[in-house]
Amino acid sequence: MKRVIVVGSGIAALSFVRQLQDNIEVICITKDKLAENNSNFAQGGICFSKNENDEGISHSQDTFEAGAEMGDFPVIQEVITKSYPLIQELIDEGVPFDKDKETHSLDYAMEGAHSAPRILHAGGDQTGKYIAHHMVHHLSHPLLTILEETEVVDFIYNEAHEVCGVMVLDKTDQLETIEADSVVLATGGINNLFPTNSNIPHTIASGPVLALRNKIALESMEMIQFHPTLLGEPKHAFSLVSEAVRGDGAVLVNELDEPFMDKLHPMKSLAPRDVTSRAIYHQQQLGHQCFLDISAIDNFETRFPTIYKAVQAHYPGAIECQRIPVTPGAHYTVGGIQSDVNGTTSLGRVYAIGEAACTNFHGANRLASNSLLEGLVMGACCAQHLNQTLTSVSQSHLNAVHKIPNISAEDVERLQQQSFDILGVERNGTQMQHYLNAIETTLNNAALTEHISKASWQHYCIVKLLQIVCTSALARKESRGVHYRLDYPNQVNQFKNEVIEIYSGGMEHVKSVTRQRENHTILH
């Protein structure tokens, strides 16, 4: 019997399992609990532009423009149009998307950088939870095994040097091997590299590290999207305040009640996230505190119950004052493991889907509520591809010795605490180079060990990922989308059609390659 391993348990992984044939055994490995993933806690909605009746052109154009014209338009349109039957299936199965109170039809909401209201929400600000719970409860695959609190640390290879499974640390920190005919990485984003972030899991996703260790290219790792509105203050945030709040009429103001976005962008408080995050950051640099003025929103408590509870817990007077304190934080990994829409990577039998992957769907900045859509589509496309192509592989393998640098918790903490100041919403080449030198000194000075625990693996992944993001950010000598450099503040036309790839260059070093790609623009 053929077997597939899927690493992760978010919407991409669930969509994959949902579409996989019943005669293929599937093992779902998650480093946390099944429900501890960002999909399950996604407040924002899911885009559904089917009824705009333009084959996704307007939605695609918004995605392309929000991505600073760096995305591949054919990829964008493919992902969007392939989402229609998948989202319709969820609607038909009874996912309780919000309805208009008067017409009882689907309530399409507006969010930043969209030209039309096309976002579906469920439970106001609990869309990810409703979709994920629905998909978990409808997992009817007869050959599904779920392994929780299990960390994948490498692939295993057979004598023909084909990937034939994974090496894992189990619940007791013991190394084991699990054999399979294919491995699908649905490991999610790496946003909790930054102390201020919207991620739910406390542990870092290791998909890019696994890829790099096995010579799979990473793409656009400099592109980390910072959400402008996390509940809290600089370096002291608690949870996300969904963009849907601004879509419902909330306005960004400072403590002087100045709507500072009004003069910065035609879309004002609904400007793209990169623009809005930098605007709030600049306000904070000037000594201002930033708030969402929610006075225009009726019934905030019932419209956004999750956010309401968080605000009451941390700022109990904010609702009464109609001012919610907000600050930017890392939210979405735009770049990732280089793959096609069906998840295919450069390494045979290894696939990457969802936020872990980079198809250049998002370009240089993700459009609001496109992430659940992407995970749903890539999971389904990957499963459909493997349903047709998966073959058995020889499982005769030798357990390779697995070594990593043994990095202290103190070194990890020191480097991680600097990450937002150096790799956050504004970057500077000189600072980044000094930071990269410190990262590589830490990696090179750490003794190699084959006695791996989950803690030591996480330490290694955090430092390695900081190295990857910093190397990629240094290579893009322009400002585009979520990547803003004070020393290169302008967009450069040639970079619109170039991507930064990260390749392995030895055990503890990485190198970047700037690759020219075909100019995929909008065809009018």
How far, in Å, CA of 289 to CA of 280, rounded?
A: 9
Q: Which of 349, 369, 373, 345 is nearest to 359 (CA)?
A: 345
The CA dihedral of 129, 458, 238, 194, to the nearest 10 degrees, is -110
Distance (Å) of CA 215 to CA 279, 282, 341, 456, 504: 38, 39, 20, 22, 6
How far, in Å, CA of 283 to CA of 155, rounded?
A: 46
Q: Which residues pair with 449 in a beta bridge?
A: 404
For β-strands 218-219 and 336-338, DSSP reports them as antiparallel
The CA dihedral of 328, 329, 331, 332, to the nearest 10 degrees, is 90
Q: Which of 210, 219, 223 is nearest to 461 (CA)?
A: 210
Q: Which of 111, 117, 115, 119 is nearest to 269 (CA)?
A: 111
Residues sharing a CB contact under 8 Å with residue 196, sequence separation 6 or more, in sequence order = 230, 232, 234, 235, 236, 237, 327, 328, 329, 330, 420
Backbone angles phi, psi at 254, to 5 degrees: -100, -175
For β-strands 119-120 and 46-47, DSSP reports them as antiparallel
Residue with tokens 């930017």: 328
How far, in Å, CA of 330 to CA of 230, rounded?
A: 9
Alpha carbon of residue 99 to chain centroid: 28
Sheet holding 151-157, edge to edge: 151-157, 163-169, 175-179
| Angle between helix 371-389 and helix 11-19 axes, rounded to 10 deg | 30
Q: What does the block give as tokens for 483?
A: 């990547």
How far, in Å, CA of 327 to CA of 343, rounded?
A: 34
CB 491 within 8 A of CB 471: no
Length of the chain: 524
Q: Which residues pair with 97 in a beta bridge?
A: 122
> Which position among 273, 323, 366, 485 bears the catalytic label?
273
Specify the long-range contacts of residues 154-158, CB closer than 8 Å, at least 24 apart.
154/210, 154/213, 154/214, 154/400, 154/402, 155/183, 155/210, 155/214, 155/350, 156/397, 156/399, 156/400, 157/397, 157/400, 158/393, 158/394, 158/395, 158/396, 158/397
Classify the C-alpha dihedral 13-15-20-22 as positive or negative: positive
Is 273 tagged catalytic? yes
Catalytic residue numbers? 273
